[in-house]
Structure 1
Amino acid sequence: MNMQASLPGKVKIVEVGPRDGLQNEKESVSAAVKTELVDRLSRAGFANIEAASFVSPKWVPQMATSAEVMAAITRRAGTVYSALTPNMQGFEAALASRADEVVIFGSASEAFSQRNINCSIAESIARFESVAKAAKQNRLRLRGSISCAFGCPYQGEVPLDAVADVVGRMRDLGCDEIDIADTIGVATARQTQAVMLRAAREFRLESISGHFHDTYGQALANIYASLEVGVSIFHSSVSGLGGCPYAKGATGNVATEDVLYLMHGLGIETGINLDLVVDAGQFISAHLGRKGSSRAGNALEAKRAG
């Protein structure tokens, strides 16, 4: 039986290292290094790079240079450069920086929402109405990101209906794409399929993306499980940048090099040059003074050095 026939022939990989990855790093990274990282990733051929976050520098000091980075990067035609925008102030900054897409976010876990932003899920998403409206008026892409869709550090299990509810709210705000995120990396393959299929009852499957963390080493298995049910957009972070703030010592985002190695092995088109991504991973890891977290990246680099 040929299983490959049931998998998507092409996927979009959203590179989140410059934003989601670096914001969780303890070491401060200069605007020049961030700019070089984004430029290297652009040259590798990504269709979407999460490059900036316009949040208060008091809360996320790593992202304080976002405007500087957005002004300095060499933009590649065909690449969407995204920015996280928590409010209208953030939206105005993203607009001024010529972001192509703004990202709003909410949690599928009521406990997580209350603990992190002191309000309910419904209230948190209602706060984005003005941002969503402004994005549409300015013809920017709008992406919604749903954290803790597979599990929560405070409440544990997250019901499927809770995920579906937030997907519906994000859809009603006019999101072009919706991310289903495993923030603490606890998801397993069957659970992943159940969540993705439930989300697809509220929003078109081709615009749903999987954002998996590798805390328990399940990210690639969950990505494959997502492919099996037709998901074709995935988030990953070059060199596995970014820890998981809710699990001590745990790895964060799944490494882009590992995801690309999987996709290319399956014969799935990505449009991305893996060698250039390995170079970008080695570049940023050297600046952080440590070995990268990507197994495929490190193996390919060792093979080249051999």
Structure 2
Amino acid sequence: KALSTELARNQWYRRVQLRWKDMDTGGLISAMSDPLLCPTELQLHTNEFSPESFSALCSALSCNLCVKELTVCLWEVTSTHVASLRSMLEKNYSLKSLTLSDWNRKPGFAVMVSQGLYSNKSVTNLALQCDEMSTESTELLATLLKTNENLHKMVLSCRRGLTPDSLDAISQALLQNLFITEVNVGCITPAIRLAIQRNVSSLHRAAKFVLRQDVGKSCAEAFELLESKASLISCLKSTSRMSETEAKAAVKTARKFIWSNYLFINQIVSRKLECHAGEGTQIDKLNFECWIAITKHLRVSDVSH
């Protein structure tokens, strides 16, 4: 208690990483309300907090903009812990990395918490650690992986290993996910390898389009798929040494390039747009602003050959 008082008095919660306890609740909540004092990484053990204190911490995290990496060790879990974490994930829009460690005798809490990612748009890295994966947990995780469009890295560590059925279900789910580019589940199946290779290739095509290295239809379609994803920004930063601001500006410029060159990208027009004379205004007579107003409602993939 004396240490908690000293940490709060000296505003050290941002500078120190400890195994936080129930008596730290007030200090942590106070630190999270101030961007200058709030830690960017936070690790919580559910068994160190009362359900009420843990709920209060999750409530503070719901609207927090500074914590980017959250690790939760799920020990002696109650339904309150699970509900509080899920609610926090549904409301938070700045968290980037989430690690859930579940070593309870009754498995499945980590996967239950991860269901909050259905509403979360910011978490891009997910790590789940558990003793074993039940059939029900596998089905829940597989359904999440099929539909989530924001994750681009997923790690699943199962102490007892995945059963063949669980591995197959997760592999098939990843085949339906077009955004995850990095996976570690302890074993790489042909389906997982195929999914990752496909998604990485799509990411590289999107980056090539942004950098004007290839402005063809396939690269433009890849760009449209990943235009709003953090993975594209990360790729541009790592491959072109752009800052985050520069990468975001380049993505906006690429979008404007599609609006201006829609017919050429889709190979509808090769050199010049020219229409036969007719009644009313022909498309080749539209001014630039009118044409942009039209193409803003179109996607490159709307045209098929």
TM (norm. structure 1) is 0.33
| Higher fraction of helix | 2
The structure showing larger relative contact order (alpha-carbon pairs under 8 Å, at least 6 residues apart) is 1
TM (norm. structure 2) is 0.33
